[in-house]
Structure 1
Amino acid sequence: MSLTKKILIALVVGVVVGLGFNLFAPNLFDPIDTYLLTPLGQIFLNLIMMVVVPLVFFSIILGAAGLGDPKALGRIGGKTLIFFMVTSVIALSLAISLAYLIQPGEPGLMGNLEEDYSAQEAPPVMDTLLNIIPQNPIAAMASGEMLQIIAFAILIGFALARLGEKTKGIVKLVEQGNEIMMFLVGLAMKLAPYGAFGLIASAIGKLGLSVIQSMIAYMLTIIIALILHTIITYGGGIWLIAKRNPFEFFKAFFPVMTVAFSTSSSNATLPTSMKVVEEDLKVSKPVTSFIVPLGATINMDGTAIMQAVATVFIAQVFAVSLTFTDLLIIILTATLASIGTAGVPGVGMIMLAMVLTSVGLPVEGITLVLAVDRILDMMRTAVNVTGDATCAVIVDRFEQERIEKEKLEAKHS
């Protein structure tokens, strides 16, 4: 049986087990969750997270070294950032439109939910940009500061490319380190079905049906937006720009989406994503090594969709009318926030707090959507990682065309 089928079966069984405990044996759930479900999920997450920092470090070095000259780095980096910005704006516009169409915050569609939420301060965008260059690279790796690790690795890769033969041994060592990390990812993925089962059963067991029912209109709005964005924006990009079959793309990438769904973490999904993009989607190593880790850090279309729907939902609940200018501010703030809050824990809620503040809505409104955020976090993470893979496939197509063109020109000259 393929890994995808095993993970899907584990997710279904996990939902059934979680609901079963929540509805029929709530007293039994706590000890079983503490000693079985949470440890199962945590062991899998720890195994994956263990390889994330060294894998990102090695792969970005290889990617930057493989690209060679700064022009190639700038060309690929420019296309990547344009793709991330454009798809974020499309995601936000789609989400706002659907939120006004479905009206999830109308009176009567909302249950009485009481949650505690203390708004965390998001770092200013300028601080994030200044902190990209690490003062201490070892400290950045120890604390998992992804943007700093990526910046340091790009500089090392650039240096290796410029020094050429002098540093051939170091390049070989980095390649071997990357191979070791990929092997460990393969081992960790054998535990993916058990981890997925533990994580989903624990989440559903804690939430139950009552909370989900009271928030169904809000959840449906986000789910529809996520599905449409994945099919239309990403599927359309694969078909029209990359000139590839979207069905084949989604079929090959589906195991990564299931891992993203069960872990709710782009970073935890990163090793699997890189493996599939390079081996199954046949994207070149330099492009994969550069785009996928960067995307996992700053590309958050799924999270942006949640921001937009939640903002309109909270405005409707509090009977606040948002002007067209407010809607533009939501799009701009959420797009910038996805970079400004990169690598911050609980990033979705911090971004939402920033967006709510930017249009004068009460941050306390977050308490209304907090109850079902765990389930929605799973879905939006799956969309986030799909966007990274789509970008890698599209940029790789341009790179391959450029290489072919240069070969033809060289032949004729």
Structure 2
Amino acid sequence: MSQSAHKYSLTTRIFIGMVAGIIIGALLQLLFDDSGDLTFSIFGFEVSTYAVLIEGIFSTIGQIFIASLKMLVVPLVFVSLICGTSTLSEPSKLGRLGAKSVGMYVVTTAIAISLAMSLGLLVSPGEGLDLSTENAFEAETPPSLSEVIVNMFPSNPINSMAEGNMLQIIVFAVLFGIAMAMTGDAGKRLSDFFEDINTVIMRLVTIIMNLAPYGVFVLMAKLFATIGADTIFSLAKYFFLVVIVLLLHGLLTYSVLLKTLTGLSPVTLFKKMRDAALFAFSTSSSSATLPVTMETARNKLGVGNSVSSFTLPLGATINMDGTAIMQGVATVFIAQVYAVDLTLGDYLMVVLTATLASVGTAGVPGVGLIMLAMVLQQVNLPVEGIALIIGVDRLLDMTRTAVNITGDCMVSLVIAKSEGELDEDVFNNPSAGESEEDVDFEHFDKNA
């Protein structure tokens, strides 16, 4: 990597890549919209510029970047959890971590959807709209509570890893780590082995983070070259209301909880979350961002490995604050579009259903829309109304993923503080973890 690249921090480089991608994508869309597709001839064949540039180059590089991040998720979660649980001196601590984590995630989700519906009723984003629902949304059947509990326990842990079933991986890794802690010398030797693997994996995370500005650039360019501005304008009131509620929850709710429960500075948290938040925004996936979130929590926020290795993978799986906000606003929006008056009891039912569904549908593909379908059915609203908001959901998904991973780290800080597993010197050190940002690739070339 050239010396000039090191003049800018990773955050700055990612931001530059994001802005450049948005500008290039928007310009490309204007070009194709105004002039139609541009073609050129290669060996007598007519080749589409749109196909080569957007569906070809941008799409391919973007998918490789996402795949590279997802590649790390399973080994990182598995190894980190084993390292964390194998060092627990008291088994009861694991039970406390589980109870505190789930409790905090449920509370923040309930606050999120309550805030979303309150502002939705105040602003009334769906009044006066008459939108078509020709493209009806077909909701998948959500699993029952019994199925969710049974499916947490893997019958084949190797298959669970292959499929990326995070809850099953968490359960197996925790049990494996506890067994190692109870095995004596053999467990200690194995623990050292996993610690070495964990060190290598975290180094791999750092290497991939250095490639992030380029990955973010192509992801943003492809998105803004394909999403229609007319779609956003037709749903502007709904769109901006969801964004405002996401920002309020992310900045206000998390700040109050962090300051009240730990006394730590929310400003410090937000400053140190910049890299992870930009990753989450560009990938729209809490799971894909998990390696970066864990690196941030450990090296920049000072959260101990025994806490972060448990709370963060769990949060990436069940913490749905951003999705809950979308559900709250969408429920009010769809009710207003269809002129359905919901009672206070209906709104309370929405809060309860969405909060419990955030845990009950963990790991289900398309979880946000499945949860929204459950909520709408619970209060007898037409599920077809989801078709109204699908057009702008991709953009909103980016913002709510950034909110979700910020909530994961806030909860991890609260729990680490309560368990005595927080290094406040690292948290308060503005340069903590910064030295791990850059990998000198020229060093590898010289020693090859």
Q: TM-score, normalised by structure 1?
A: 0.94
| Residues 6-62 of structure 1: per-residue CA shift (max 9 Å, x gap) | 111111111111111112224243431111211121111111111110110001111
State the distance in 2 between where 1:146 and 1:102 align. 38
Provide closer, same or farther for how the CA distance between residues 89 and 204 of structure 1 changes in structure 2, counting only shifts above 3 A: same
Q: What SS class does the counterpart of residue 200 from structure 2 fall into?
A: helix
| Residues 226-256 of structure 1: per-residue CA shift (max 9 Å, x gap) | 1110111111122221211111111011110
- Of 120, 123, 127, the residue aligned with 1:102 is 123
Provide closer, same or farther for how the CA distance between residues 284 and 337 of structure 1 changes in structure 2, counting only shifts above 3 A: same
State the distance in 2 between where 1:322 and 1:68 align. 51
Amino acid in the other structure paired with 2:96: R
Task: Tell me the residue number matched to 2:5.
Answer: none
Report if the CA contact (8 A) 1:69-1:158 is conserved: no
Task: Tell me the residue number matched to 1:376.
Answer: 396
| Residues 373-408 of structure 1: per-residue CA shift (max 9 Å, x gap) | 1000000011111111000111111111899xxxxx
State the distance in 2 between where 1:221 and 1:29 align. 33
Q: CA deviation at 1:68?
A: 3.2
Pair 1:21 & 2:42 matched: no
Q: Of Structure 1 and Structure 2, which has the larger fraction of its residues in helix?
A: 1
Pair 1:74 & 2:95 matched: yes
Q: What SS class does the counterpart of residue 419 from structure 2 fall into?
A: helix
| Residues 273-327 of structure 1: per-residue CA shift (max 9 Å, x gap) | 0001000001111111111111001111011101111111111100001111111
Q: TM-score, normalised by structure 2?
A: 0.87
Percent identity for Structure 1 against Structure 2: 47
| Residues 94-152 of structure 1: per-residue CA shift (max 9 Å, x gap) | 000011111110114x6557545321122122211111110111111111110000000
| Residues 49-102 of structure 1: per-residue CA shift (max 9 Å, x gap) | 111101100011112122232210111211111111111111011000011111
Report if the CA contact (8 A) 1:19-1:209 is conserved: no
Task: Tell me the residue number matched to 2:434.
Answer: none
Q: Which stretch shows the higher mean deviation, 367-376 or 10-19? A: 10-19
- Of 332, 339, 342, the residue aligned with 1:312 is 332
Task: Tell me the residue number matched to 1:42.
Answer: 63
State the distance in 2 between where 1:401 and 1:29 align. 52
Task: Tell me the residue number matched to 2:18.
Answer: 11
Report if the CA contact (8 A) 2:77-2:170 is conserved: yes
State the distance in 2 between where 1:380 and 1:391 align. 16
What RMSD over aligned residues (CA atoms) do the two structures have, in Å? 1.6
Amino acid in the other structure paired with 1:7: I
Task: Tell me the residue number matched to 1:2.
Answer: 9
Provide closer, same or farther for how the CA distance between residues 386 and 401 of structure 1 changes in structure 2, counting only shifts above 3 A: closer
Q: Which stretch shows the higher mean deviation, 63-72 or 126-135? A: 63-72
Give the unaligned 5+ runs of structure 2: 1-7, 38-48, 424-448
State the distance in 2 between where 1:22 and 1:113 align. 26
Amino acid in the other structure paired with 2:195: E
Task: Tell me the residue number matched to 1:128.
Answer: 148
Task: Tell me the residue number matched to 1:407.
Answer: none
| Residues 202-226 of structure 1: per-residue CA shift (max 9 Å, x gap) | 1221113111111110011111111
- Of 338, 342, 348, the residue aligned with 2:368 is 348
Report if the CA contact (8 A) 2:304-2:422 is conserved: no
Amino acid in the other structure paired with 1:174: F
Report if the CA contact (8 A) 2:157-2:168 is conserved: yes
State the distance in 1 between where 2:174 and 2:27 align. 49
Report if the CA contact (8 A) 2:73-2:290 is conserved: yes
Task: Tell me the residue number matched to 1:31.
Answer: 52
Amino acid in the other structure paired with 2:53: I
Report if the CA contact (8 A) 1:23-1:208 is conserved: no
Task: Tell me the residue number matched to 2:427.
Answer: none
State the distance in 1 between where 2:263 and 2:332 align. 36
Amino acid in the other structure paired with 1:38: S
Task: Tell me the residue number matched to 2:84.
Answer: 63
Task: Tell me the residue number matched to 1:387.
Answer: 407
State the distance in 1 between where 2:112 and 2:88 align. 30
- Of 133, 141, 144, the residue aligned with 2:161 is 141
State the distance in 2 between where 1:114 and 1:184 align. 47
Provide closer, same or farther for how the CA distance between residues 344 and 401 of structure 1 changes in structure 2, counting only shifts above 3 A: closer
Provide closer, same or farther for how the CA distance between residues 395 and 303 of structure 1 changes in structure 2, counting only shifts above 3 A: same
Report if the CA contact (8 A) 2:276-2:289 is conserved: yes
Matching of residues 192-341 of structure 1 within 5 Å: 192-341=212-361
Give the unaligned 5+ runs of structure 1: 404-413
Task: Tell me the residue number matched to 2:418.
Answer: 398
State the distance in 1 between where 2:324 and 2:422 align. 33
